[in-house]
Amino acid sequence: MCDGFAAESRADRPSTRSTTHIQMANMQIKKTIHCATIVLCLILANCAGTVSPNYQLGVDALEKGNYDAAIENFNRYLKSASDDADAHLKLGLAFLKKGSLEDAVAAFKKSVALNQNNSEALPLIKKSIMEEVNVFLSKGKNDVAMRYLTAHLTINPDDIDTHIILTREFIKMGSRNNAMASLNKAVSLDPKNPEVIELLDYFSGGFH
């Protein structure tokens, strides 16, 4: 009877070999996790250090209003990262603030083309250009303001606000045909826009 009990007890206990296998498996899992953690840390550390000095110098210069330095550093950075849409956008802002409209437009177009899903790019470009437009209009430099508005439409041809402003400026200039062309585009974009309706009423009453 005792022998039977002893045999049963031995059968219920896991073998030494099985226990050893389990311990080895656990050690291997811990080793794998440890290695993976090290690799992940290295990757994160590498990512943290991938910001180019030229890019950061460009950002800093742009924020401080040093547009020449910003342009220089962004251009240096873009020589090795030509597909960075954000850098092209910031380069365009620097050119715009410096007064280099054509260069700004080229950089803006490049940025938009590289990242068409960036919902913040076009509003930022519009805001920046409109700020310049308002400055020129306040100084009576309407012809320069018109150039900036027209340039904006080469980036975003469906911006109704730009077409409305152009319409009003053409009216001031007495250029009926250009005013009507801008207004017609605005109508096609949003015929229910209050400013569009106001301008249509103005024309229906006779251009004066």
| Domain encompassing residue 40 | 16-50
Please check whether residue 36 lies inside any domain of the structure: yes
pLDDT digits (tens, 9 = 90+) for 182-201: 999 999 999 999 999 999 99
Q: Does some domain include residue 192?
A: no
- Domain membership of residue 154 (yes or no) is no
Residue 163, in any domain of the structure: no
In the predicted structure, residue 50 carries a pLDDT above the cut 90: no
Q: What's the domain count of the chain?
A: 1
Q: Is residue 205 part of a domain?
A: no
Q: How confident is the model at residue 52 (pLDDT cuts 50, 70, 90)?
A: confident
For the chain, give the secondary structure using H, E and C: CHHHHHHHHHHHCCCHHHHHHHHHHHHHHHHHHHHHHHHHHHHHHHHHCCCCHHHHHHHHHHHHCCHHHHHHHHHHHHCCCCCCHHHHHHHHHHHHHHCCHHHHHHHHHHHHHHCCCCCCHHHHHHHHHHHHHHHHHHCCCHHHHHHHHHHHHHHCCCCHHHHHHHHHHHHHHCCHHHHHHHHHHHHHHCCCCHHHHHHHHHHHCCCC
Query: 71-84, pLDDT tens digit by residue?
Result: 999 999 999 999 99
Within-domain flag for 45: yes
Is residue 155 included in any domain, yes or no?
Answer: no
Q: Does residue 30 sit within a domain?
A: yes
